[in-house]
Structure 1
């Protein structure tokens, strides 16, 4: 499976091309000339045209196959009726015209094949809106995404209207999703019909017809159903619009937003409104709806993130949080946070009795009734034992002190507790 070769030299650019004679000497001209594929390449890519058929038009007998090329990945190959394009030069010129219509809302056109009686167009392969919207196995397209699709396709219609370009068969089957999951129109719809002098105008969609077909797409997005064009206008003009919404979206869309889209769809379907409808206004309306939805999603997401962050803070302090908290603590606080018993011990020894300086012997009040303990002597014995790490003796002396007085001595309680920890005998 190879790549593609450049167009034959005997086929010149189309007469209406923006390429000038002097441009043909430009080394980058290859970027502007539509590539031509070999018929054998497409045979191999589509397994001799036995691969998956993406779409089939009964009226024109055109068929789109899914294929794969080694250097391009999955491709869509459209086989056209030879009777529509008897002239190779005309067909190559049409392919060149499509090649030059590069726009973000039009799928990527890769080239053409024109050998003997064979006529093919090749594009990047993308899934259709119809596959995701009408197939229950594909899951439900959320309301936010439907608004995004409507906005993207409205931009495509605006581009075609401004370019005065015709388009055939705008529908959920010709709307694709690109690599960014944004909706775009199939480039195959840009091909003109040339069966007769009136073919192009009769079979392709002019600006007004394009807006009408866009209205049908809006109804598809709202209802999640395939609607006959002849029934669409009457259906949304006679029933309660909200009742027509896709039941899979129940409770998952904004009524006000849906009503705006229903009104847009009705205007697109009504001839008198369609003729006066400015597609630019449609784009702006859908853009506003989409922006509002994205902001609401962003607020909801932000609130969820804040909730999760609060849960994380209350459940398990992270290493970063511990480090931040540690930087705001005293040396003793840091040692306690790290559960460093030796550091706590050293700090208490160095601090001596600083925490007890405001508690004098005179303020000990009286010793508790029935005690004959010399508080100062017992405290000194306890501290001496603590400093030589005789924690068991320290505990005994500290117990005598705390049992003899009803005055809180911070250093006594701190040393007593640490001694118990070292002795592995926690005491409440």
Structure 2
């Protein structure tokens, strides 16, 4: 009571939490120091950025989805030895060069210690690139969801929340209240391990330069009605990130009911879920991917496939090659490439594989295409009617589509099939 902080300020954090949170320095001193430390925003030539990234070499890619992603981020180094990150947009993005330059220049005026600041851009021909400070210590998603040694410490989670609140408040004070797809992949860590908010999300997010969101897992309810990002959308996404920080898991709140978040069994017929079922309930796509990768094609055994002599001689090699390429892309989490290769395998039609449908279903989910994911999960169930994986993937797709009741029914069905399989194996 009596707190006069802004909506995103963290001044009301309890002081008795484990681990201290350093107080923020004087704003005037901060901004002065930041301006002195960073060069002014500038335009780079495409040749300069090619040289900095060794010709946009594959080994310099640092974005989550690799070279098949629509927009790829590379690490690089300028002639003055400053390390940079370069985001290269798809050639169909930002057709209006003037609009791109105006947007980049506006974001490039921001300078704050809580941001991975925009240093410049490139706009030559069809090329649209952004240049930012390089953050070498991975994303919050990597540290929070994919840790191997130990989970992120509680005091560090609080620090991330504080720095994120300060970053959003700073941007709002400078007239940049909209932030696109605010999620754990947008928070990166600098050389000293301090959390920074990527400035990429401050750029408008579509071909026409308007304010859209692209990731269904983080979509606020009002976006489904209006199709636009608003300041309220950013508040919603900030709350989602707080939930991630508190739980250490990615749980899109619009997809999960309160009794699940509380760990309460729901109803008389509630069935405890297996780890895979829990992953589908939480929409933890990384965990689902690990399960499918470890399972391989064991559950395809017994699926009837008739192959004519002509198929063996003329099409089999092409079929197997498409599937093999899809499996390599799936293993390396290059989900767009996996979709393309698995589609070739399916369209050839010489072999039927529920596992391929399941893998393409998850690849669609990873690419924010939940309806296509649901269609593939249903196809997998048509081929193998009592396969629990197919039911679980339907549940995950239905959660992504906001169909809570149907998703819960698919979860129960998957759990029943899995329990029966375990009982007979």
TM class by shorter-chain length? 0.3 to 0.5
| TM superposition score normalised by structure 1 | 0.44
Structure showing greater radius of gyration is: 1
Which has the higher relative contact order, 1 or 2, with Cα contacts under 8 A spaced 6 or more apart? 2
